Structure 1
Amino acid sequence: MGIDDAFDAFQRTVNEDIDKTRLARERRDLFKTALRSEPDVLEAFGSGSLSRSTQLKPIHDVDIIAIYDPDEHPEWGSEGPSAEDALEHIRGQVNRLLSQSSGTHDNVVRHTLLRNHAVKCFLDDPDDPDAFTVDVMAALRQEDGTLLIPEQLNTRWVPADPEYLIGKVADHQRAWPHFRPLVRVLKQWRHTVPVEGRIKSLVMEVLALNCMPKSGNRSEGLKTFFTAAAVRVNEGVRDPADLCGEIQPDLDHEGLSAAFAEAAEIAERACTAAAEGDTDQALRLWQEIFGEDFPAPAAPAKAPALITAPALITPRPIKDAPQG
C-alpha cells in the first residue's frame, strides 16, 4: 500500500457516513426554513463545524444562528435580562413551529433547554446520551457585519463573527484540497493526546488554520503543522476574528506543545523514510502517530540469535618441574 492509499483509507475511518451527514444537514435546513418564516427573523444560517465541513463523527448536534430585526426587539443588545429574554423568544418560536405535539411547520422537537448562548432543541429522547440536537442562537447584526449574541449567565450581549471562520476555512480549502479532511484527522488525533483536561475541537481547527500549509502532500503538510503548532500553541489559541479572546483558557498548553513536538519528530522520520523509498517504515511511523486505524504493515520479525557451541579448550601440556 502506498502513502496516499493509506491516508485515503485512514480518512474513511475518520469521516462521518455520508448518509448521516446528509441527515444532519436536512435537520439543520428544516430549522432554517421554519425560522425564516417568522416576521422578525431577517436571516437564518448554519454555523459550527458542519457548516465549515470540518465535522468529526459522530454528528450529535448542528448549530443555527437566527438574525433578528432590531426594530422588532429594541430592548435586545443591552446588559440585563434581554439576553435571557432572547433565548426564551427562540424557545417559544421553535416550540410553536416544530414541537412534536403541535408544531405548525413540522413535528420534530421533543424538548428544549436554555443554554448560555443558545436554545438546545432535542430531536431525540433527552435522556439518550447520543440524542441529536439543534442549537439555535439569536443574534443582532451590527453595521460592520459582526454579530451580537446573548450570554445568559453574564446577562449581557457579546460580539462574535462565526462567518469569518467559515470564510477562512473555505479559502484554505480552495487553496489546498487536503485542508478540511486533515482538520478532521487532527480533531480525531486530539483524543489520543496525553494532556490534562480536554482539548476543544475548535482549538485544533484554528491551529490548523494558522499552521497548515496551502500546498504539498499530506505527509509534508502534517509535518509542517506539527512543527509549527508545537510553538504556536504556547502563544494561546485565539478567536480568529479577534473578538472573543482565547478559545480555551484552561488548555494544557505545555502538554499539547510536547505532544505536537513528539508528533513532529515522528513525522520527520516518516517523510525521510518515504523519500528513501522505505514506504513500509513510513507507514509504520504514521501509524505510531495516528493509531491502529492507520494502515501499515507489521514490523519485520527479528531474526533469532544464533546459538553457537562453546569453543573447545586445548588442555595445557603438563611439564615436570624441579621441587627442591
Structure 2
Amino acid sequence: MNDLSKAAVSLVTVDESGEGQRIDNFLARHLKGVPKSHIYRILRSGEVRVNSKRVDATCRLVIGDMVRIPPVRTAAPAPKPDAPATSKFEGHVIFEDEALLVIDKPAGVAVHGGSGISRGVIEQFRLERPQAKFLELVHRLDRETSGVLLLAKKRSALVALHEAIRNNAIEKRYLMLVCGVWKDKKRKVKLPLKKYTLESGERRVSVDDDGQPSETIFHLRENFGEFTLLEAELITGRTHQLRVQLQHLGFPIAGDDKYGDYAFNKELAKRGLKRMFLHSAETVIRHPVSGESLKLTAPLPKELANFLKNLSKTVPHAEAI
C-alpha cells in the first residue's frame, strides 16, 4: 500500500446502512484498503469493541450500536471524480421511495464496474447521489439485457428482497425474440445449468447433468415467420438462464453474441437489430416495507419495437397469441 497515513481511534454509531451487517463486513467498508486478514486480527485482539464489549467476526450490528475502530494504517483514498453535470440514469427511473430505486436499464450498460468497465449503474448512482447512506443492487441483469432493475436504498429492504428471491416470491417476466418457429403456447423447461470459464477468463454456462436446476415457463406471444416472440416467466434465476435454455432447445435469442449464431446475428445487424433481443419487461414484488404488491414495468425499447414492426411488414401473416 502506498501513501499510507495513520488514522486515530474512531467511534462510529451504526445507522441504517449498517443494520444487520456482520462486524467484519462493516469494518471492511470503513477501512478501505485494509486486508481482511488484518481486520480479523484486530477483531481477535479485542481492539474492536461494540458497545465497549469484545466481539467476534460473526457479530451482527443493530442501529445505535457504538463501534470502536482502532488506529489502522490504510491506503489514502483516491480522489473521487466530480459528479457529472447531468444525470445518466435519472430519466430511466420507474419507481422510487425511501426504500427502493427501480430503473429501466438500457442495453449495453453494465450493472456494476469490473472487467474493463470503470463504472456501472450502481457506481454511477453512488457518484450522482453522494448523500445516499446506502445503495445496493438487489439483483443483476446482463450488460446487453434491458429492463427492470431493482436497487435497495435501505439494508432492511435489501435483506427482505433477497429473502423473497430465495423463496421464489418475486415474479419476473422477460420478452425475447428467438430464431426458429416455436409452436407450444405454453411450455415449462427444466434444465441443469453449470458455470465454467473460458481460457480468456470469460464466464459461460452450459447444460450439464452436474449443474444447478433451472426452471422457466415460456409463453408464445407472436410468430414472425422464421422468428418467434416469447414471454418467459422465471421460476429460478440462474446466470444466463434464458439464453442457455433457449440455445440448448435450438431457439437461440436473436442477437445473442455469446450463445447465438454468429453468422445469423451479423445478418440481423444488417436488418437493424444491433443488440440482443432480451428485455426484462415486468417484475412484481411485495414492497419490503409496506408489504403492498408492486408491479414494475418497462416498455419494450424503441429499437426492439421497431425491429418487430419491420418484421410484421415482411411477414403479414404474423399471428398474435
**TM-score interval w.r.t. the shorter chain?**
under 0.3
TM-score, normalization by structure 2: 0.27
**Which has the larger share of strand?**
2
Q: Larger % of helix: which?
A: 1
